[in-house]
Structure 1
């Protein structure tokens, strides 16, 4: 602990008496991340470009990834020796507690079997249905009506728009293991400022769909062909308000779905071919 700047009358031989623990200080998260980051960088790890809470290290044919959420750390590698090594380093510096194989992390349930690893958010999904009062609703076979075109409406505003925003925000996180609701959630997230009853009814339809498949998720088999497979598509000017198209793509490594996205294009396409070319360009960037 260093003496704060501007505090005079103290010598280097004196120390400050803490009135709060580290967890009670505003800078605690910054100091914790700074110390952990410096330690990992010292041992050859580097920040991932997409997320600085993800640390990666590759040496010869060994690869290890370590992701940090506050004081919870999850790591994976194709080398058990490297896993044991980094755990010893972390225990020496921070006295960690090893919880064994990953089973639950940030609402995502992990199940291991002889065939592979499955990820789902069953508990998170059931909690969402319970909090929304939809636990006893009738299930729906699809998350959204294919003929429905949501748009900004000038009447029928919700009395409590915060409930709609909370619901859509929780659906966004559910996309982590439910790519089947990505398009419907993308449509609902466009009307966060002024949601109407029509938008809320569409969100309820998504909840009805989730009632029928709360344990649906992703499966990653142990045996996998190391080839990359991607699909890209786009509609044309389906947004009633802006006449912009929507890009959609997904990528597989072998039979494992690893990346997916649904997003409205930034410019108006004057033909369906231009809309598909823009979607293909976005997918190519993701592929690289």
Structure 2
């Protein structure tokens, strides 16, 4: 959707569905105790049968997705075969694309009036919050210079640096040493393998907007199952490189 917006100059709008799971209709029989403050004094030991979903139910996410998907189908949308969270609607000569992630929505299209019409239709059936132009979504920060769209993850980088306790680290100019090959052993095993996997996983997510670290991240990914101190030194070098290039991204 970012590519479509950048190519055709379409506006990206962001919406949020308030209390999304509470909109879901339950098809299973689920009962709950009477909540404190709402106990029927004449039937204090009775339970309540749920008509709609609640947060915490195992079927709540699926029920919400089914509810929202069915409503989109009534508006003329079809779900993408490649990505079930992406929906496409063709109206006359206009195209509208909608992306759903839990209760967060991105919507764009060739005719902004049609996009606005669909937003209004969604707002009539769901309690929606219109966040306006898309600026932040799942760790991606979006800016709109005159020549296109700029995507970066500087806030996410700061979060990863804080997680690795490297906010005050000294930056370096390359993400990996040009003449150093990582080996399967040769040093002590890293003391916190779960931490290693967590940081490397975060670095993998950063490659979406930072292709310049892809090779270095690929190298450290090879040791997720058995990491050594030398491997974590390589991870820290990537983080030091990111510290000095936080403003980099994709234009």
Q: What is the DSSP-based 3-state SS (H/G/I as helix, E as strand, rest coil) of the residue aligned with 1:202? A: helix
1:47 paired with 2:72, answer no
Range moving further from structure 2, 107-116 or 196-205: 107-116
Deviates more, 1:59-68 or 1:70-79: 59-68
Contact 2:29 2:50 in 1 (8 A): no
The within-5 A match list for 1:12-31 is: 17-18=49-50, 22-31=54-63
1:156 correspondence with 2:188: yes
Aligned to 1:193: 225
Rate the CA distance shift 1:20–1:94 in 2: closer, same or farther, 3 A: closer
Matched, 1:178 2:210: yes
Change in CA separation of 1:197 and 1:123 when aligned onto 2, cut-off 3 Å:
same
Q: 1:12 maps to what in 2?
A: none
The separation in 2 between residues aligned to 1:73 and 1:19, in whole angstroms, is: 25
2:46 is the alignment partner of 1:4 = no
SS at match of 1:116: coil
Alpha-carbon distance in structure 2 between the residues aligned to 1:80 and 1:147 = 52
Task: Identify the match of residue 93 of structure 1 among 97, 111, 125.
Answer: 125
Q: Which runs of 4+ in 1 moved over 6 A?
A: none
1:82 aligns with 2:107: no
| TM-score, scaled relative to structure 1 | 0.67
Asked whether the 8 Å contact 1:139–1:208 carries over to 2, the reply is yes
SS of 2:70's equivalent in the other structure is helix
Correspondence 1:65-76 to 2 at 5 A: 65-76=97-108
Alpha carbons 1:3, 1:16 under 8 Å: kept: no
**Inter-partner Cα distance in structure 2 for 1:122 and 1:95:** 31
Instruction: Report the Cα distance in structure 1 between the residues aligned to 2:208 and 2:167, rounded to whole angstroms.
Output: 21
Q: Which structure would you say has the larger RCO, counting Cα contacts within 8 Å and 6 or more residues apart?
A: 2
Question: 1:51 Cα deviation (Å)?
Answer: 2.1
Secondary structure of the corresponding residue to residue 130 of structure 2: coil
Measure the CA separation in 2 of the matches of 1:161 and 1:19: 45
Over the residues paired in the alignment, what is the CA RMSD in angstroms?
A: 2.3
Question: Which residue of structure 2 lines up, in the alignment, with residue 115 of structure 1?
Answer: 147
Distance 2:142 2:200 in 1: 24
- Structure 2 length-normalised TM: 0.76
2:168 maps to 1:140: no
Work out whether residues 209 and 249 of structure 2, in 8 Å CA contact, stay in contact via their aligned partners in 1: yes
Gaps of 5+ in 2: 1-25, 31-46
Q: Do the aligned partners of residues 50 and 201 (structure 1) sit closer, same or farther apart at CA in structure 2, a change above 3 Å counting?
A: farther
